[in-house]
Chains A and B, each alone.
Chain A
Amino acid sequence: MRLISLVPTNTKINFLQFRKIAAVFSLLLCVASAGLFFTKGLNFGIDFRGGILIEVRTEGPADISKLRASLSDLGLGEVQLQEFGQASDVLIRIERQPGGEKAQLVAVEKAKKALGDEVNYRRTEFVGPKVGGELIEAGITAVVLALGAMLVYIWFRFEWQFGVGAVVALLHDVLLTIGIFALLGLEFNLSTVAAILTIAGYSINDTVVVYDRVRENLRKYKQMPLAELLNLSINGTLSRTLLTSVTTLLALSALYFFGGEVLAGFSFAMIWGVLVGTYSSIFIAVPLLVYMNLRRTGLIVGDTDDDDAAAAGKSTS
């Protein structure tokens, strides 16, 4: 009857034995990400940096050098042109103009005049210096508050050790996402922040599922060595972890390849985040518990959920 078995049932992989290699590997990646962030920096979009973005469509393939020539004489500073999705679409980025909001407005007008009426304006965006600063602030606030709120929730629902483990895994995922954006020079904008918050949610989600099993097994097997118990928990939830990752990745790939150019950056970040998140919940979040001196007694308090089938039988509705 079963058609696909993604994971052989009853896996007994010793994940914990990889914990040192995984820790070193992740640490290296985190350091590299932080290094890239501080040296190369992120390619901030106009949402944060301020500036002008114009997307135009020309009839037939766009002559980028001609468009560039008509814009370069305007004295607008750095102007980037880039093919966007297809040959007739061009994305024009103009750096933030010195001076206040008015200067940006004048620059948009100038650029549009230079491009003329032959092109079709698909998108015009400009963000003045004031709003750019506020968006940065709001973005950072949202991410910090989200991480804090999740930490508190996990702390509330589990022991503090779980909270720390989950947030370490989460920071790992967020850091690596920032790292890949710095490495590839992908535009970092508002939707990237949205992606990061969603990745945070997904990463915690993944971790919580495994942690739930750890907690359950701690109650169930009171004598089992911790490493063995953690392995058992990871293996027990492995097929769920992988299945959910696959369905999420399927949906995200559809979005990445066919959802249009505007969403491509967002979907890329999410795909990366899901991959990293799946890895980190297995290889980082759970092994971390080994080092944090889990007290088993604390987990038994208020535990009425016993393991025998009879008990399970009566709790239906």
Chain B
Amino acid sequence: MVYFAKWKIVLVAIVTILGIASAFPNFLSEEDAAELPGFLPSNQINLGLDLQGGSHLLLEVDVAAVLSQRREGLVDAIRDGMRRGTPRIGYRRLGVRGECVGFDLLRDDDLSRARQIVRDLDTNTFDPQLEINVDGLSVTVCATVTGQREILTSAVQQSIEIVRRRIDELGTREPTIQRQGSDRILVQVPGLDDPERLKELIGTTAKMTFHLVDQTNSAAASCGAGRRRPPGTLCLPSQDEVGADNSPIMYLIKRRIMVDGENLVDAQATFQDGQAVVSFRFDSVGARRFGNVTRENVGQPFAIVLDKKVVSAPRINEPILGGNGVISGSFTINSAQDLALLLRAGALPAPLTVLEERTVGAELGADSIEAGEFASVLAIVLVIIFMAAAYGLFGFMADVALVLNIVLIAAVLSMLQATLTLPGIAGIVLTIGMAVDANVLIFERIREEARNGRTPISAVDAGYSRALTTIIDANITTLIAAILLFQFGSGPIKGFAVTLAVGLLTSMFTAIMVTRMLVVLWLHRRRPKKLPL
């Protein structure tokens, strides 16, 4: 006898109720969903950026720049250490050598002290990050593989933190900022009016330093091809000021950093004499240094350098002791605000490059949702009519399963908090078409068995048991495709893989459990002599 176990009926009922309860919040507005009583699920399906509008940016940390900065830092630290030694350690040719830092000692017996100085710079004693090689008097110091990895990891983490602070300052809701691979950062910001501004804010390193300007030599005589810079100076272009030939004018500044932007604690855009300026405040260390420099150099120009460009070089009129100052320059209100934001959030440890951008306007997103909804509903209606026409009563039962299938897909996506993308909607529509396949397989089989002279009950039974292996075989192959798509696809395509896989699983459940239950219950009630197939 065909028999459908009680526990299975209970299972179907529970799944159905859970499914409806979990899918239900998607039909409410966000506010209403949040107000559902606590025992009811209130999660809605997450919409992908292509549906709600927003920017997806893939950034890359400039690894080479990170490592080269690190090497330069190491040179400074070694120089410092050797000069501070008592007696001083004599050395020459200290500098970057390829991937490493090297120097030559003047005396053989200084070797152990030099070694100690380098070793003291290594913060990790268990897993050394610096490797020291000695060849006669020549010493080279290289970062080990773990050392390089550590440097990179901390640079990426720091970048993520800074990017997060900058985006938070924009006041957007729920940005996603994740590390991807070894040196990449994925930024997803929903609902943004001005993606160009976002890119500009992220793409600026915002490293600010204060330098004295070389007064004894002129920039004109020292900067440019073929001219010699005095030692310890740098030629940097102005950010805004241009000379007669329309190229930025150059400044000759002293290399030594007098005060570092790291010591800033606050920055705001304000007005001074009707001009937009950025006011800033130093922490105690910065304030002391700033005070000393300004006291000792009254009357001299003081260059404010941002990302290797001179913003302005105002003359120091009087010592500034309170740690507050103002950056003037040719700012607009917007650019002053952006600079203040960048200074507040802090500098990136290295430049970030945008590798990929995908921005969708909110309007296109809304249009996509609308089109997707319409196509889905139309697909459901067409398939429902077709199935009822092809299989009559049995087709109607399959239709009930189909509708439940859609509800279950929505429920699973809400529960998993999966992201629904536009290709994801395509996956659902495709599932609508393919979900009935399992039922078609079963019904055709039942029909055939009935034709071979079986009684209705025996035909139904044989139909289900024979079709089952076929259904599983057939669905597993599509599942394989979905899993690989998920693994290798990016962004929206992953969304397609998710809905396709979820749809396959729910459709197997509804075909094997739900329609079967309906068919068996119907058989028990009616005990028909002939199947209406």
A interface, CB within 8 angstroms of B? 1-4, 6, 9-10, 55, 57, 100-102, 105, 108-109, 112, 120-128, 130-131, 135, 138-139, 141-142, 145-146, 149-150, 153-154, 157, 190-191, 193-194, 197-198, 200-202, 204-206, 208-209, 212-213, 216, 236-237, 239-240, 243-244, 246-252, 254-255, 257-260, 262-263, 266-267, 270, 309, 312-313, 315-317
Whether B423 contacts A3 by the Cβ 8 Å rule is no
In the bound complex, residues from chain A placing their C-beta under 8 Å from that of B496 are: 191, 194
Whether B429 contacts A209 by the Cβ 8 Å rule is no
- The chain A residue sitting closest to B353, CB to CB, is A101
Contact with A along B456-499 (1 / 0, CB 8 A): 00100110011001100111111111101101111011001100
Whether A260 contacts B432 by the Cβ 8 Å rule is no
User: Is residue B276 contacting chain A, with contact meaning CB distance below 8 A?
Assistant: no
In the bound complex, residues from chain A placing their C-beta under 8 Å from that of B469 are: 212
Contact with A along B178-206 (1 / 0, CB 8 A): 00000000000000000110010001000
In the bound complex, residues from chain A placing their C-beta under 8 Å from that of B357 are: 105, 108, 124-126
Instruction: Report Cα–Cα, A109/B474, bound state, in Å.
Output: 49
Contacting chain A: which of B297-305, B323-331, B381-389?
B381-389
Main secondary structure on A side of the interface with B: helix
> Which of these, B3, B58, B392, contacts A131 with CB under 8 Å?
B58
A-B contact pairs, 26 of them (CB 8 A): A1-B533, A4-B389, A101-B353, A105-B354, A131-B58, A150-B480, A190-B490, A191-B493, A197-B485, A201-B479, A205-B475, A208-B470, A209-B474, A212-B470, A243-B440, A247-B434, A247-B440, A250-B382, A252-B433, A254-B376, A255-B426, A260-B371, A262-B50, A309-B454, A316-B3, A317-B3
CB within 8 Å for A125 and B358 given contacts A3-B392, A263-B426? yes
CB within 8 Å for A194 and B485 given contacts A126-B357, A212-B470, A247-B383? yes
Whether A252 contacts B389 by the Cβ 8 Å rule is no
Whether B364 contacts A123 by the Cβ 8 Å rule is yes
- The chain B residue sitting closest to A243, CB to CB, is B440
- The chain A residue sitting closest to B371, CB to CB, is A260
Whether B477 contacts A309 by the Cβ 8 Å rule is no
Q: Which of B126-149 contact A (CB under 8 A)?
A: none
In the bound complex, residues from chain B placing their C-beta under 8 Å from that of A259 are: 371-372, 374-375, 425-426, 429
In the bound complex, residues from chain B placing their C-beta under 8 Å from that of A312 are: 458, 461-462, 465
CB within 8 Å for A248 and B434 given contacts A3-B390, A259-B425, A262-B422? yes
Instruction: Report Cα–Cα, A149/B58, bound state, in Å.
Output: 31
- The chain B residue sitting closest to A100, CB to CB, is B353
Query: Measured between C-beta atoms, what is the minimum distance from B102 to chain A in Å?
Result: 31
- The chain B residue sitting closest to A113, CB to CB, is B196
In the bound complex, residues from chain B placing their C-beta under 8 Å from that of A251 are: 379, 382-383, 429-430, 432-434
Query: Measured between C-beta atoms, what is the minimum distance from B149 to chain A in Å?
Result: 21
In the bound complex, residues from chain B placing their C-beta under 8 Å from that of A112 are: 196
> Which of these, A9, A263, A309, contacts B451 with CB under 8 Å?
A9
Query: Measured between C-beta atoms, what is the minimum distance from B324 to chain A in Å?
Result: 35
CB within 8 Å for A139 and B488 given contacts A4-B389, A55-B364, A122-B361? yes
Contacting chain A: which of B89-97, B161-169, B221-229, B441-449?
B441-449
- The chain B residue sitting closest to A5, CB to CB, is B390
User: Is residue B5 contacting chain A, with contact meaning CB distance below 8 A?
Assistant: yes
Whether A142 contacts B426 by the Cβ 8 Å rule is no
Whether B375 contacts A258 by the Cβ 8 Å rule is yes
Whether B390 contacts A6 by the Cβ 8 Å rule is yes
Whether A201 contacts B482 by the Cβ 8 Å rule is yes
Instruction: Report Cα–Cα, A123/B50, bound state, in Å.
Output: 9
Residue of A121, A202, A255, A267 contacting most chain B CB atoms (<10 Å): A255
The 3 closest A-B pairs by CB, nearest first: A251-B433, A260-B371, A201-B478
Query: Measured between C-beta atoms, what is the minimum distance from B408 to chain A in Å?
Result: 17
Contact with A along B399-434 (1 / 0, CB 8 A): 000000000000000000000001101100110111
Query: Measured between C-beta atoms, what is the minimum distance from B378 to chain A in Å?
Result: 4
Instruction: Report Cα–Cα, A51/B50, bound state, in Å.
Output: 19
Query: Measured between C-beta atoms, what is the minimum distance from A127 to chain B in Å?
Result: 5
Instruction: Report Cα–Cα, A312/B378, bound state, in Å.
Output: 40
CB within 8 Å for A247 and B433 given contacts A124-B359, A312-B461? yes
Instruction: Report Cα–Cα, A252/B426, bound state, in Å.
Output: 8
User: Is residue B252 contacting chain A, with contact meaning CB distance below 8 A?
Assistant: no
Instruction: Report Cα–Cα, A316/B466, bound state, in Å.
Output: 11
- The chain A residue sitting closest to B3, CB to CB, is A316
User: Is residue B2 contacting chain A, with contact meaning CB distance below 8 A?
Assistant: yes
User: Is residue B250 contacting chain A, with contact meaning CB distance below 8 A?
Assistant: no
**15 further interface pairs, Cβ-Cβ under 8 Å (given A4-B390, A142-B488, A263-B426):** A3-B392, A122-B363, A145-B488, A240-B441, A243-B390, A246-B386, A248-B437, A250-B379, A250-B382, A250-B433, A252-B429, A259-B425, A263-B371, A266-B423, A313-B461
In the bound complex, residues from chain A placing their C-beta under 8 Å from that of B492 are: 190-191
User: Is residue B64 contacting chain A, with contact meaning CB distance below 8 A?
Assistant: no
Instruction: Report Cα–Cα, A248/B503, bound state, in Å.
Output: 14
Query: Measured between C-beta atoms, what is the minimum distance from B371 to chain A in Å?
Result: 3
Query: Measured between C-beta atoms, what is the minimum distance from B292 to chain A in Å?
Result: 39
In the bound complex, residues from chain A placing their C-beta under 8 Å from that of B378 are: 254, 258
User: Is residue B152 contacting chain A, with contact meaning CB distance below 8 A?
Assistant: no
Query: Measured between C-beta atoms, what is the minimum distance from B74 to chain A in Å?
Result: 28
User: Is residue B500 contacting chain A, with contact meaning CB distance below 8 A?
Assistant: yes
In the bound complex, residues from chain A placing their C-beta under 8 Å from that of B283 are: none
Instruction: Report Cα–Cα, A258/B465, bound state, in Å.
Output: 39
User: Is residue B174 contacting chain A, with contact meaning CB distance below 8 A?
Assistant: no
> Which of these, A124, A208, A255, contacts B375 with CB under 8 Å?
A255
- The chain A residue sitting closest to B2, CB to CB, is A316
In the bound complex, residues from chain A placing their C-beta under 8 Å from that of B392 are: 1-3
In the bound complex, residues from chain A placing their C-beta under 8 Å from that of B393 are: 1
In the bound complex, residues from chain A placing their C-beta under 8 Å from that of B10 are: none
In the bound complex, residues from chain A placing their C-beta under 8 Å from that of B342 are: none
Whether B429 contacts A254 by the Cβ 8 Å rule is yes
Whether B485 contacts A142 by the Cβ 8 Å rule is yes
Query: Measured between C-beta atoms, what is the minimum distance from A125 to chain B in Å?
Result: 5
User: Is residue B355 contacting chain A, with contact meaning CB distance below 8 A?
Assistant: yes
CB within 8 Å for A105 and B199 given contacts A247-B436, A251-B379? yes
Q: Which of B224-260 contact A (CB under 8 A)?
A: none
Whether B355 contacts A131 by the Cβ 8 Å rule is yes
Query: Measured between C-beta atoms, what is the minimum distance from B315 to chain A in Å?
Result: 35
CB within 8 Å for A198 and B355 given contacts A122-B364, A209-B470? no
In the bound complex, residues from chain A placing their C-beta under 8 Å from that of B441 are: 209, 240, 244
CB within 8 Å for A124 and B195 given contacts A131-B355, A190-B493, A244-B440? yes
CB within 8 Å for A270 and B430 given contacts A112-B196, A191-B493, A194-B485? yes
- The chain A residue sitting closest to B393, CB to CB, is A1
In the bound complex, residues from chain B placing their C-beta under 8 Å from that of A263 are: 371-372, 375, 422-423, 425-426
In the bound complex, residues from chain A placing their C-beta under 8 Å from that of B350 are: none
Query: Measured between C-beta atoms, what is the minimum distance from A3 to chain B in Å?
Result: 5
Instruction: Report Cα–Cα, A243/B475, bound state, in Å.
Output: 17
Residue of B354, B388, B425 contacting most chain A CB atoms (<10 Å): B354
Query: Measured between C-beta atoms, what is the minimum distance from A234 to chain B in Å?
Result: 13
